[in-house]
Amino acid sequence: MLSKIFLSSILILLAACSSIQPRDPSEKSTSFHFGYQQDSPLAAFFEDYEKKSTSAFVPLHQGDDALLARIALIESAEKSLDLQYYIYRSDETSQLMTWRLYEAAQRGVRVRLLLDDMQKRNDLGMAELNAHPNIEIRLFNPHQYRDARVLALASDFTRLNRRMHNKSLIADSASAIVGGRNIGNEYFSFESSVEFGDFDVMLFGEAVTQTADQFDLYWNSLYSVPMEWIIPGSDKVADEVIQTQVQKLRLEEKFSTGNYNFRKLDLYEDLEQGTVNLYWGPAQVWFDLPDKIATQESQLIHNLSELLASVESSFVLISPYFVPTESGTQALVDAAKRGVDITIITNSLASNDVFAVHGWYAKYRQDLVEAGIKLWEVKASAEVKSKWSLTGSSRSSLHAKAMMIDGTTLFVGSMNWDPRSAELNTEMAVVIEQSEYVQESLARLPAQLKQNAYQVVVRDGDIAWIDATTGETFDSEPEASIWRRLGAWFSGILPIEDQL
């Protein structure tokens, strides 16, 4: 009797929830990027440089620079803006970007915004933006019950557990930004309790066209659902509503005065004066196909496996979520035994925002270290260098996803070194041959690690952590509370590795 009452209650609840009505995929319009816009201000800006190769990039190490670069591309675009993100928050930096995108649409730029639907957002607000004649919004692999996402997940876990983790912004098909950052305060060194150390590259050249091609594949895929299918018949948001909200939020003031003034950044002056330092080199954009969420077949992992098989002398891996698995650990150990100099940088338990990941990673530490692999864990108290890092953030956390191979090759993108990135989420990355930048980064790395990370070693048969700045050695997870240690330990005995 109770089970029948429970089932009836669930059915009533589902009936009351707004849900996506099934539609014939052929009803969805297709659209594509317009190709390289040679008349765009962005094309003129980059072509002022001597062209030495097919692609070029500007490294975006700091959160403030990364936000400025995105705003600069948005404000410079004249024809098109395509954005693809896993997380797009509703905080100050996100609001600033949304406002600038709206302003671009108002001046005639076509804006396409493709968002993964794991994050709950304001459907009505997105539908009102989507009703603008120059703005289109689609959600990738959306939850079917909009107001009951837990029930949606419970009823269709296998599908909804697989997400689009790709991150890109493309302006006029002339420049793009690819890397690890989502859209939110913690990624851009703006007021947040946690500050992510992250990494993007701003691209020019053939890599931009490749990035635009992958966006089109996702935009037109079966899994991208137009907002008008989710909230049909919505009215366009009124311009006066946008302007009132902008004034209420003081968006102009927040980013032009005080600690968070764009004009204080070195990159701002470089962009104004045309003195940005570009690194040139052959580049390729690698990405999973959208149907990976159904097939679990990863084109990116296939390409990466071939690249890693060719490593000759050195390999530096930076991954915030590092779960190498037994087979991955053995592959790293084998590479170290054949003479490859391997350095792995990941989060400590205290700096990791997902302690379950740490619980499973910890199982493989000793094997890695005993094989001669240099293993470093970033401190929760690490300093994130940024002119805006006056935020009072209580904790730092590594979020960059990059590799440096044989001192010549840079790999940067959205992919973590874990089963979720390999098998469940779709991912993308750009691979660039650029020895000058890689060598500069490798030269800076020892001092950065000494200051901001613990070296993991084996002492008397057990794992220990060395703080090179103080000489102190720890025999348990440094900076982590007992409750966090217990949580990580308990997660490590649960059968969840393939979900991490």
The residues carrying an active-site annotation are 165, 167, 172, 399, 401, 406
Q: What DSSP string describes 470-486?
A: TTEEESS-TT--HHHHH
Beta strands per DSSP E along 383-423: 395-398, 402-405, 409-413
C-alpha 53/C-alpha 44 separation (Å) is: 17
The C-alpha angle with vertex 93 and arms to 173 and 121, in degrees rounded to 5, equals 90
What string of H, E and C letters represents the secondary structure of 168-212?
EEEECCCEEEEECCCECHHHCCCCCCEEEECCEEEEEEHHHHHHH
- The half-sphere exposure of 4 on its side-chain side, counting CA atoms within 13 A, is 1
Pick from 134, 335, 144: nearest CA to 237: 134
* Sign of the alpha-carbon torsion through 237, 241, 247, 249: negative
Pull the structure tokens for residue 127.
Answer: 């539908």
- Dihedral (Cα; 228, 220, 211, 172), 10-degree rounding: -50
Q: How many CB atoms lie within 10 A of CB 44?
A: 13
Per-residue DSSP letter, 160: H
